[in-house]
Structure 1
Amino acid sequence: WWLLWKQTCWCVFDMFHSVVPPLCPSARQLNNSSMVLSSSVQLVNGVELSKDNTGVTAKVSLSNFTTSVFFDGYTAQIRVQGPSGSSLQGLCGNSSRPLSGLRLSEHSSTSCETKYSDTSDSTINCTMVTERCNLLKKAPFSSCNIDPEPYIKACSDTLCRYPAVDGLPCQFLEAYTRACSLMSNTTLEGWRTVAECSSPDAFCQDQTCIDNEFCGETSGGETRCFCRSIFASPYREISALGTPTVCSQNSASLTLIGCLLAEKGFDYSALHLRDPTCTGQVDEKTHMVTFSFNSNSCGTQVMTNSTEIIYKNTIMAQNSSSDIITRQDQVHIDFSCIQTQPDLKTVAFRIRDSSVVQVITSGPWTYTLTMKAYTDASRTQAVDPSTDIQLNQKIWVELATDGLDANVVSLVTESCWATNQASPDGGLRYDLILNSCPNAADQTVTMQGNGQGTSNYFSFNMFQFSGSSGEIYLHCKLQLCVKQESSCIPVCSGARGRRSISSRYEAAF
C-alpha cells in the first residue's frame, strides 16, 4: 500500500507541477468504460466505491484487514485497519527507497523515469508562505497529537516554488485536519476560520484531463484542463494553436489542441469552417479538434496565380462577422493546400514514343498529367515505336490528368507546337495550337473539349519539316483553370480568338 500512496502523492503533486507526467488513472474510468459514482456505495470487483462533495472513497477488505483510500483532488489518504499486532504483507517497501526501485518494470512505462527541472517563481515571498504553513503549530491544530512537521515541510517546499493557486494554501491544512480526524478521532473546530479556507469541496472532481493536461482554476474560479508547459511550450513559442496543415490527395485537415484553445478563451464547439455546418471533430482521448475540407466542400475558396491553384478555408467562430461589436476574441485561422500549374515546355515528346507522363507534385497534393498520340478518332490505337505513320495521316493527341476535381478545375491547352529538336526552343518550329485555339493557318488542326473538363484532345495531319527527314517533337503548354472564377472554355471563331481565363492570387497563411 505504500506504493499506492506514493503514486497518488505524485498525482497530487502533478496538479500544480506543470511538467510532471501524470501517474494516476481517472477516478471515473474502469477498463476504459465510464462510471457514474454517487454517495451510494457501488461494489466493483470487490471494491466499494463512493463519491460525495468532498472526494472519492475506495474501500476493500482482504483477510483481516480493511483498507480505505480517500482522494479529494489534492491528497490521497490511505488507512489500513486490522487486528492489533498483525503485520502487513504484500507489495511494500522502505519509504527511503526511490519509487523506481519498487515499480514493477513489466507494468511501467520507461517515460516515467524522465525527470524535468522547473524554475521557482521568484516573485513568491517565501517568508510569508512559511508563516502560513506554520499555522499547523498553533491552535486549533496544536490540539492534535500528529506530528505536523512533514505537512509543514511539504507546504513550504511547494508554496515557496509555485503560485498559491488552485486552493494550494489550504491543501496541506486540509490533509492534516483529516489525518487528525482519522487517527485520533479529534475534530479541529474553527480551523477554516483561522486559516481563511472555504468549505471542503473536492477539487476538479468532475474534470477528466489527459496526459498533456492538468486540472486547475481559471481566474473566474471555474475549473478546466490546462496545458502542461513541457507539452505546450513548442506551440506557444511560435504562437501556434495546433499542428501544421495536412494535405492529402484532394483533402486538407488542420488539428488544433483543445487546451490551447481553452487557454485563449475559445470554445471549440463554436468554431466552424466557412460553411457553418462544417465543424471540428473532437478526439475524446487526445482532446484534439480536427477541421477538414476537400477541394469542393465546406465553402472552400479556390484561387489561382500563374504557378499555383490554392484551396483555402478558414476556421472562424459562430456569428463572427454579424455583430457590430464583440467582447470575445475573434477567431480567424486560414489554412490551405496548393496544386502546381502544369508546364510541359521542357518535356520532349516524339510522335513515335507514343506517350509521356509527368507527375505534378504539390506537397502531398499530386496529380498526373499524360500526353498520348493515337491513330484513330476513338483514341484506342496508341502510337508506338513500331507504328508506321504516313505523311498527311491524321493523328490524335490526348492530354489528360488524373487526381484533379473536375467540379473545381478544368484543363486548358494554351499552345502546342512541333520542333525538329528535343528542345522546345531549338531548331525549326511549327505551331498547332495558339491562344488555346487551332492554328488558323492549318485547316487540318481541330480541338475538342478544351477547358471543359480535366482532359482534352486535338488532331492534325502528319507532316515533316521541309528539307529534313528527322523526327518530330511535340511540346504543349497547359493551364489549370478554376471554374468558379470564369468560363474556362476558349471561344474560337473568326480570328480564333480566346476568352481570357482570369486568375488571381490571395496569400494564405
Structure 2
Amino acid sequence: MSALLTTGDPILLASRIIRGFSNTTDWKMKAWLGLTLAVSIFCTASAQASSCATDEYFNNTTNTCSCNLTMYTSAGSPPPPTVQCLSGLMRVKVSKCQLESSKYDSANLHLLDSSCKGVRVVEGTALVVVSTNTSSHDCGNKLSVNNTHVFYSNNLTIPAKVSPSGLIARNNFTYTFSCSYPLNIPVSLATTLNVTMGGIDIPLPGGVGALMVLMIAYTDSTFTVPYTETTMDINVQDHLYVAVSMPDLDATTFSVLVTRLYATGTSDPNANPSYDIITNKCPSAQLGDLLTILVNGETVEARFKVQVFQISGMVNLYLHAEVEMCTSNPCNQVRTHDSEARATVCPSLRVRRFCSCTG
C-alpha cells in the first residue's frame, strides 16, 4: 500500500486506496473519502474568504466576495476618487463598497475610451482602480504642453446602478482628472565605478507627478554592459559611454534632450568650479573635444562618448546633466528654461592617471 501514497491529491489518493480494499471494507473507505471531500471543500472556502477585503464578506451563494454595506452610509454622490500620478502611469482609485452603498455601478467605471474599465483591487478595503499609461494614444488621454510641464488628462465615468426592477436613483457622474510632469529635470550620474547607475524621481510642488531619469555609464559602444561594483578604476583617456534616458516617457510624443553635461570634483552639482562638456545643447569650447554626441534630442534616450579626464587635485570625478523633454521636431529647437529643480544621486568616478614606470 505504501506505493499508493505518491500523489499529493487527497481525492485521487483515497480513490486509489479504495480500489485496493475488499468489499467488506469499502464502506469504511467511502466514509473516509467523504470526510476528505468535506475537508477539501472547507479549505477551499476558507482560502476564498481570506481574499476578501476588510469591508467585504464571502458570499457562499455566489462564491465571491460581496460588500458589507452595513459599514457605509448611502450618499447622493459617489466617494471622491484618489488620483496617483506615477512615472509612466496614471491611476484613479475609488471605494468599491461605498459606490455600491450609494447606488453606483462599481463594475462599469471607465475612462474616455470605454474599453478602459476599472478592476477590483484589495488595499485593506475593496477599491475599483482604473489605470492608463501616460500616452496620448492610451484610453482617450488628452495631452497638452506649456513652457514648463506636460499634462495628461482624462475623464472617469461613474455610472448609476440600475435596480433589478429597472429603476435608476442617481445621475451618472463624470470626474475629470489630470497629471502633470516637468519638462526640465536635472540628474547626476553616480559615476564611481563601484556605483555607476544614478536615478531619481523628481516630485512636482504639491506632489502631483514624477518622472524617472537615469544616467548609466557603459563599458563600450554597444551600450549593453554597464559598469558594475566589480569594475576596476578607470584611467585618464579611457572612454565612458554615457546614456541619459527617461524609460517611462511616451516615445511617440517626446524626446530627451541633454542641454548641459558637466563635471565637478564633489557630489554637489552646484560646486565650483564646474567643467562644462555640453553647454546650451552643444559641445563646450572648454572640453568639447573630449565628447562625441551619438544621439541627443531624437529619442527617449540620449547617448554620448566621453573621454575621461581628471580635475587637478581631485581623485574623484562627478558627472551631472540638465535634461529637457520636448515635443518639437527636431528637439534641439526647444529653448531651455531658467527655473529648474535640483537633484543629485552620486558617489563618484575614481580616475587614476596612466603612467609607465621603469625602475
Compute the TM-score of the two structures, normalised by the length of structure 2.
Answer: 0.53
The SS at the match of 2:278 is: strand
Structure 1 residue 476: Cα displacement: 0.9
Q: Deviations over 1:291-336 (max 9, x none)?
A: 4423231111345567765433112589xxxxxxxxx967431234
One-letter code of the match for 1:31?
T
Amino acid at match of 1:273: L
1:41 alignment partner in structure 2: none
Alignment partner, residue 244 of structure 1: 82
Asked if structure 2 preserves the Cα contact closer than 8 Å seen for 1:243 and 1:254, the reply is: yes
Aligned length: 259
Q: Distance in 2 between matches of 1:463 and 1:500?
A: 29
> Does the CA contact (< 8 Å) of 1:241 and 1:257 recur in 2?
no
Equivalent residue for 1:447, pick from 274, 287, 293: 293
RMSD over aligned Cα atoms: 4.9
1:313 aligns with 2:154: yes
Higher RCO, Cα 8 Å, sep 6+: 2
Which residue of 2 is the match for residue 377 of structure 1? 221
The code of the aligned residue for 2:294 comes to: Q
Query: Are positions 1:231 and 2:72 aligned together?
Result: yes
Superposed, 1:122-201 pairs within 5 Å as: none
- Structure 2 residue ranges without an equivalent (≥5): 1-54, 160-169, 338-359
Distance 1:372 1:260 in 2: 46
Residue of structure 2 equivalent to 1:424: 269
User: Given that residues 348 and 424 in structure 1 are in contact (C-alpha distance below 8 angstroms), is that contact kept between their aligned partners in structure 2?
Assistant: no
CA distance in 2, matches of 1:344, 1:408: 21
Counterpart residue number, 2:45 = none
Provide closer, same or farther for how the CA distance between residues 259 and 429 of structure 1 changes in structure 2, counting only shifts above 3 A. closer
Post-superposition CA distance 1:386-405 (Å, at most 9, x none): 234234x4432222344445
AA at the equivalent of 1:372: I
CA distance in 2 between partners of 1:344 and 1:397 (Å): 15
Contact 1:242 1:257 in 2 (8 A): no
- 1:245 is paired with a residue whose SS is strand
> Could you say what secondary structure the match of 1:396 adopts?
strand
After superposition, the Cα gap between the structure-2 partners of 1:375 and 1:246, relative to the gap in structure 1 and judged at 3 Å, is closer
Change (3 A) 1:301 1:451: farther
Aligned to 2:242: 397
What residue in structure 1 maps to residue 308 of structure 2? Answer: 462
**What is the alpha-carbon distance in structure 2 between the residues aligned to residue 342 and residue 500 of structure 1?**
11
The residue aligned with 1:433 is 278
| In structure 1, distance between residues paired with 2:190 and 2:105 | 56
Please tell me the residue identity of whatever aligns with 2:243.
E
CA contact (8 A) 2:78 2:102 kept: no
Residue 141 (structure 2) aligned to one of 277, 300, 313: 300
The one-letter amino acid paired with 2:111 is L
Q: Label 1:389 to 1:304 Cα distance change in 2 as closer, same or farther (>3 A).
A: farther
Larger strand percent: 2
TM-score (norm. length: structure 1): 0.39
AA in 1 matched with 2:113: D
- Tell me how far 1:383 sits from its aligned partner: 5.2
Whether contact under 8 Å (1:450, 1:489) holds in the other structure is: no
Distance change >3 Å, CA 240–CA 342, structure 1 → 2: farther
Counterpart contact for 1:300–1:312, Cα < 8 Å: yes
Whole-angstrom CA distance in 1 between matches of 2:306 and 2:82: 48
Contact 1:342 1:360 in 2 (8 A): no
The percent of aligned pairs where both chains have the same amino acid is: 22
Shift of 1:257: 5.2
Matched, 1:335 2:177: yes
Partner secondary structure for residue 333 of structure 1? strand
For 1:373, give the aligned amino acid: A
* Contact 1:488–1:501 (Cα < 8 Å) also in 2: no
Listed one character per residue, the Cα deviations across residues 477-497 of structure 1 (whole Å, up to 9, x for unaligned) are: 22344xxxx326433xxxxxx
Alpha-carbon contact 1:303-1:310 (below 8 Å) kept: yes
The yes-or-no answer on 1:32 pairing with 2:62 is yes
User: Do the aligned partners of residues 292 and 423 (structure 1) sit closer, same or farther apart at CA in structure 2, a change above 3 Å counting?
Assistant: closer
Give the counterpart letter for 1:446 in structure 2. T
Q: 1:488 to 1:501 in 2, by over 3 A?
A: farther
Identify the residue that residue 273 of structure 1 maps to in structure 2: 111
CA distance in 2, matches of 1:388, 1:438: 23
